[in-house]
Chains A and B, each alone.
Chain A
Amino acid sequence: MKSNACVIEKGGRGLENILSEVEKVTAYNELPHKEALRLRLLAEELTGMLPELVNHFDGVFWLQNDEKKYELHVELSVAGMSKEVKDSLIAVSAAKKNAAATGFMGRVREIAENMLLRSEDSDYAFDSYQYMYDYSLDLHYSYAWSLDRYVANNRDAAKKDAEWDQLEKSIVAKLADDVIVGVRGSKVDIIIKKEF
């Protein structure tokens, strides 16, 4: 089934609808308490990341499931952003002054932002080499990052750095089967996957 789509407005209005959609989906599928709780936790983590993203981009959230496979979707669009705003955002991210990009969800946010700002703009080619190791082959997207790939590539690596620490502390990284950030045209999808 596919839930209603919630539009998330600038300033974070509409965020509370996300949790009520999760509850409706839980009721629809008669999920046991434990599974319902996990789905809600994933939704809360996702919600926590959104306010900053939707300050600059338009966002839509929905949930869908096929039997036991659940997916939380956020679709962000860069359409309608002025060149000035875009330039200033790129300047910030290029200067690595994006201090808020801490924690695992901060990283996901950073990747989404990078993809959005550099999508459909040849002046700022997406510096994909930075995430090359975590590249996920997905026909839906021109480029995609995947948690699953990231973990597979870094699990055995000698460098258990701060970033890996954050991953181990993250609720999403622990609970979710995969997190995918993919870009297609002027749109970026963030998908959290969980199979019960």
Chain B
Amino acid sequence: MKSNVCNIQKGALDLGGILTETEKVTRYNGLTKKQSLSLRLLAEELVSMLPSMVRGFSGAFWIENEGNDYELHVKMSVEDMDILTRDSLIKIATNQKNASAVGITGKIRAVFDYMALGGEDTAVMPPVDRYGFAWSMDYSCAWSLREYKSAVPTGEKEKWDELEKSIIARIADDVIVGVKGKTVRMIIKKSFEETKE
């Protein structure tokens, strides 16, 4: 099924609609308490990440599922990005002490900003490190949390600490951020195990 689509206005602060939609999907699919909680936690992580992402753009959110495979979708249009937003994104991205790119959600946010600038088509360096960039047919440039996890060397203790502390990294099966044309997408994926009645 596919949920209602919530429009996210530029600079939106009230993102409660996302949590409401999540609850409706939970009801529709008759999810167990534990599954509902996982889905809700992922939606909350998303809501906490979004405000800084929607500063300059508007977009849409929805949830889809096929059997036990759930996907939280965010789609942003960077078509009408104004010059000030672009400047500030470049400023943040080129600042080596990219203070916001702390933790996994911070990293995802930074990747999102990078994609909003055009991904590999920009002169800006990718945020923090090159881990996690993946090849995908659907995007001209894509990043995946699962790829990131498998690429981070075991020696990088700090990065593994971040991964272990992160709710989204622990619960989600994958987070994909990609750009194609003037559209940036983020998909949080989660598959539940078959429930026994």
Interface residues of A (CB under 8 A from B): 1-4, 24-25, 27-30
Closest to A67 in B: B4
Q: How far is the CB of A39 from chain B (nearest CB, A)?
A: 14
Q: A1-B2, A2-B1 are in contact. Are A29 and B24 (CB under 8 A)?
A: yes
For window 112-153 of B, CB contacts with A under 8 Å fall at none
With the chains together, A4 CA to B30 CA distance in Å? 14
The 8 closest A-B pairs by CB, nearest first: A28-B28, A2-B2, A24-B28, A27-B27, A28-B24, A1-B4, A4-B1, A1-B3
For window 41-77 of B, CB contacts with A under 8 Å fall at none
- Please tell me if the beta carbons of A25 and B28 are within 8 angstroms of each other in the complex: yes
Q: How far is the CB of B61 from chain A (nearest CB, A)?
A: 13
Max chain B Cβ within 10 angstroms of own Cβ: one of A1, A3, A24, A29: A1
Residues of B within 8 A of A28 (CB): 3, 24-25, 27-28
Residue-wise interface mask of B (15-32) relative to A, using a CB-CB cutoff of 8 A (1 in contact, 0 not) = 000000000110111100
Residues of A within 8 A of B3 (CB): 1, 28
Q: How far is the CB of A54 from chain B (nearest CB, A)?
A: 22
Residues of A within 8 A of B24 (CB): 1, 28-30
Other A-B contacts than A1-B1, A2-B1, A27-B27, 11 sampled, CB-CB below 8 A, are: A1-B3, A1-B4, A1-B24, A2-B2, A3-B28, A24-B1, A25-B28, A27-B28, A28-B3, A29-B24, A30-B24
B interface residue count range (under 10 / 10 to 19 / 20 to 34 / 35 or more): 10 to 19
Residues of A within 8 A of B28 (CB): 3, 24-25, 27-28
Q: List 8 A-B contacts (CB under 8 A).
A: A1-B4, A2-B1, A3-B28, A24-B30, A27-B27, A27-B28, A28-B3, A29-B24
Q: How far is the CB of B40 from chain A (nearest CB, A)?
A: 16
Q: How far is the CB of A107 from chain B (nearest CB, A)?
A: 31
With the chains together, A29 CA to B25 CA distance in Å? 10
Residues of B within 8 A of A29 (CB): 24
Q: How far is the CB of B4 from chain A (nearest CB, A)?
A: 5
Q: How far is the CB of B186 from chain A (nearest CB, A)?
A: 20
Residues of A within 8 A of B29 (CB): 24
Residues of B within 8 A of A30 (CB): 24
Q: How far is the CB of A133 from chain B (nearest CB, A)?
A: 37
With the chains together, A4 CA to B25 CA distance in Å? 12
Closest to B67 in A: A4
Closest to B2 in A: A2
